[in-house]
Amino acid sequence: MRSFIYKSIIILICVILVYEFTIGKQIALFKDRADSIISKEGRRESVNKLRDEINKAVNKDRYLSKEDAILLNKFIKKIQKEIADADGKELNESKGQED
């Protein structure tokens, strides 16, 4: 009976240690992040960091590489074309329903 109790206690301690060193740390990390987002001071800090990063980007001579700029330009033109096509189809459909 004693060996069962000792083995149970050792297993319980091992389970607690494994929990604390794996899942417990992740939960604590998530809780800290959530607290920083929820608190007013955390939000202010996040906003200030964002402002600093925006200021750094504005002060850079070139924010995007030429390849990235070309890629974004093509993407934006494609989106604009699709939006224009969708507007044209929508106008044609609404005219057809009015007639």
Q: pLDDT tens-digit profile of 59-70?
A: 888 878 899 999
8 pLDDT band (50/70/90 cuts)? very high
Contacts of 64 (CB under 8 A, 6+ apart): 72
Q: Where are the alpha helices (DSSP H) in the chain?
A: 2-19, 25-38, 40-59, 66-98
Q: How far apart are CA 74 and CA 76, in angstroms?
A: 6
pTM: 0.40
* Residue 96 reports pLDDT greater than 70: no
Highest mean pLDDT pick, 35-39, 41-45, 58-62, 80-84: 80-84
